[in-house]
Structure formats: structure tokens, C-alpha cells
Amino acid sequence: MNHHLPGPVVTTARGAVRGLRRDDGTTTFLGIPYAAPPRGADRFGPPRPHEPWDGVRDATAPGPNAPQSERGLGAIDMTPYFGTGWSRGEDYLTVDVWTPSAACGGLPVMVFVHGGGFVAGSTRSALYDGSAFARDGVVLVTLNYRLGIAGFLDLPGAPANRGLLDVVGALRWVRENIAGFGGDPDNVTLFGQSAGATLVGGVLATPEAAGLFRRAIVQSGNGRGAFTTEQAARVTAAAAEVLGVEPHVDAFADLSDECLVRAASRLAGIDLRTATHHDPLLGLSPFSLVLDTQPADAVAVGHGCDVDLLIGTTTEEGRLYLVPTGRYASSTAEDVHDTAARSHPDPARLVETYRTTRPGASHGELRSAIMGDALFGAGSRALAAAHAAHPGSGTFAYEFAWRSQALNGKLGATHAVDLPFVFALAHLPPLHGPAALLGPDRPPADLADRVHGTWVRFATTGDPGWDPYDTERRATMRIDAEWTRIDDPRGRERRAWS
């Protein structure tokens, strides 16, 4: 049990904040605004500076988060990941800061971007407690950003990718203020998982973010996960139809947050396939970045090549979307082909490749493997290769292979199973049980310490402790009870996507 003592006061550019000193010696500051509350029409504008405040602002309790509907994934309890839904309040463009001591100086800084399909998640989720980072000498920052329609609907009259602009705004806040919390503004690592990792890839390719961070970690993101403007326009048309308004920012400005959240939840299942592009999210979310150039292609021409990059996926990403809903067990050969057809120009060849490399695999295994690569693996490898092609760029790859025995052993090394280890929270009781993310078995005792320590080492030095990834050997660390360096894992499947 943490006993919280009155914490120190830090003066930021907008005003003073008081944090909480915890009994492990670390200090937290919760709900510090990095931008003005997004109200009315401002929900669809770029993030604006927050008004200064007088006196000392209390930063000892969690603040509100972005408007969102509750989200679940069938039989698995994902509450530690998604949180408990929407905690209402306008002033939600905020950061939480975890520091060893605000009196320190020059500490490495890590800034985390949460996942949740661009529609859910927040700094309040149990998995994003930054205590372990602070205990290990890192200033950890977690941030909220606009989600759903406010964050990512491509609206005429409004800037695109407002959720990404929020992340850049939070990085600017870090650059300006983090020294007051003990951090080194010149040693910032931006990291994220799932949608948050796709956002990190997007920020890597954003010229306006150059110089705001030195390193990046992309956990189960997609360097080819952005929608085209044509795809985004379909979602915008559908949203306007559901809401009964014109597809323009002026018509959306008067709608309530509740109204936008309800509408977003009715946009699932839009077919985004076009004559030239597949749906990079396979219909799982109607929102993503909207870009003319995919992040991997922007990095290929030089954006972000001076930033050290650690990038990887879990071994069985796709199972989270199939096993808990019963679709893994019920998969047919037709389902396997359909998943391939939704994501690849030559589905028959793709399926044949996976059948050859996975002899004896069930339809569920094949469908899950293709889905995992379509959503995360192929786009991550493309981003890694694009980054590694630049001489002197520090690129490092991993594959997280520890298998959860949840749902009768079928969940496996699925999407998000790595996060508790990165945050050194694998011991949390809600993560354990037959229908919990880490399953009924205890993971290896030292795995969380080792994974978490590797992330800290990379953020501190730019070297996770293994050989860099290059476009020939493709050295990758496979993380399990034992750690094994392998060259070009699943190379035949990789080549099938390139």
C-alpha cells in the first residue's frame, strides 16, 4: 500500500503544480494540462496553449480522459488495458509525470502513448503506472490525446490527425517543462503500443516533431497503418450520415461529446478497400492516421532517421482479435482466405506461404498469423527496414514470444501481452486468471525485470543490448523465458508481404 505524503511543488510555464510523494521515494504529478481544454469548435482545431493559472494546481489525483465508449474484447478481461471508460471533464489534454525526484537533474525521459484502436484508452489505465520507471531513474510521462471523431475523423475545414498533433503538443510541453521534474529535455524517448505505436511512427515521420525526441520505441504498431484520404472520406461520409449533419467542421462543432462518442461506436465495419489500397486495420477500427505517405515510406526518404529506433511485435498478435470472441476455434479455410484477401493483392499465394511455413497449422492458427502480420508485423518490418537503410541510424528489433495460457492456453503471445513486462507490472492481480491477459500461470520471475530494464537501457543509452537490425541480417531478439538472437525471423513470410 502506498502512503502518499504532500509532494513537492514544480513551477511549469503555465503555473505551479503540487504532486504526491510516494512511500517508494518517487513522486507523481497527475493531470497536468499540456494544452487548452478542447471545447466546442476547438475539439477540431490544433491543440492550443492552456491558460496560465494562479496559485498551486493540485496534481495529486487522476484527471478526466478523452471522451470514449467502454471497450471490451469478448471473453478476456481487458480492463487493465482499456481502463474503465470515460471519466468526464473538459480539461483532459494532460500528462501524468512519474519522477525519482523533482530535485534531480539530467535524467532520461520516456513519453508513453497508449493504445486502444484510436477510440479508447487513457493514462488512467492500470497498466500505465510509471512507478518502476521512476524507481529506475527515469522520468516517465504518459499522455491523453483526442480519440475517435474529435481526434481522427478527417473533416473538411479541420486539420487532419488531431490526435497526433496532441502527441506533438505534449512533446513540446516536455521540451519546455521536463527539466523542472528532473528530466533531460535532450534525452527523450517517445514510445507507444498498438494505436499508440502507430502514432509514434507517425510522429517519427512528422517534420514538425524533429528535435523533440531522441529515441523511439514502436511496440506492435504499423508503419503502413495510415488511411488514404479516399478511405478517410468514406468514414467521414458515414459519420455525417449517422449524425444527420453535413460533413464539415462547422456542422460538427455544435454536437455534444456524448453524441460524437455514440456515433463513433456505430461506424464499425465500413469497407475501406479501394481500387489501390487495402484496409490496414482490417475493419477493426474506423479511425487511424490519415496520410498521403505511409510513415514507413516517409522514413525511407529520411524523416526520423537520426532518431534511435527499437521496434517489434509479439509472436501471435492476431489471437487477441479471434480467441476471446470464439472466432479462432470456428475459423474455416474460407475465413483464412478472406483475411488474406482483405490485406494482400495475391491472397492465394499468401495463404500458401503460411501453410508451407506452418505445416499442420489449424485454420485458426493460419488466420491469426496472417491477421497479426497484416495489422502489425508487415508494417513494423517495413518501418524497421526503412529506418535501417540509412547509414548510422540505430535500429533494433525484437519479437516478444512469451505465451499466456489464458483461455485454455489459446491466447498465447498475443497483442498487448508484452505491456505488463515493459511497465514491470506483471504481478498485478487483475492480469492473472484463466480469462486475464497473462493467464493462470506465473511468468518467469525475472522476465519483467529484464524487459523493463532493457527499455530503460535503450532510453538511457540508445542500445538495448543486442546487435542492430540491418536490411541483410535483420538481427532480432526473441524475448521469452530465454532470450535468443535470431536473424530474419520468419523471413519467407516477411518476403511474401514486401
Radius of gyration for the alpha carbons in the chain, expressed in angstroms and rounded? 21
Identified catalytic residue from 114, 125, 316, 317: 317
SS3 state of residue 164: helix
Label residue 77 exposed, middle or buried (CB < 10 Å: 0-12, 13-18, 19+): middle
DSSP 8-state assignment for residue 96: E
Active site residue 125: no
C-alpha cell at 151: 481526434
Label residue 61 exposed, middle or buried (CB < 10 Å: 0-12, 13-18, 19+): exposed
Where do runs of H (alpha helix) occur along 14-147? 79-82, 131-135
Identified catalytic residue from 50, 114, 122, 194: 194
Extended beta strands in 67-178, E state = 94-99, 107-113, 139-143
- Which sign does the torsion angle of CA 454, 425, 30, 88 carry? positive
Would you say 183 and 175 are in contact if contact means Cβ atoms under 8 Å apart?
Answer: no
Residue with cell 474460407: 334
Which residues lie below 8 Å from residue 230, measured CB to CB, with a gap of 6+? 274, 277
| Helix or strand (DSSP H, E) at 216 | strand 215-219
Which letter, b or e, does each residue of 240-252 get, where b requires 16 or more Cβ atoms within 10 Å of its Cβ? bebbebebebebb
From residue 315, alpha-carbon distances to 76, 173, 183, 447 in Å are: 19, 35, 34, 16
Backbone angles phi, psi at 357, to 5 degrees: -80, -15
Active site residue 365: no
Pairing relation of β-strands 5-12 and 15-21?
antiparallel
Active site residue 194: yes
Would you say 180 and 153 are in contact if contact means Cβ atoms under 8 Å apart?
Answer: no
The rounded Cα 377 to chain-centroid distance in angstroms is 14
Identified catalytic residue from 114, 337, 387, 415: 415
* Half-sphere exposure in the Cβ direction for 251 (13 Å, CA): 14
Where in the sequence numbering do the catalytic residues fall?
A: 194, 317, 415
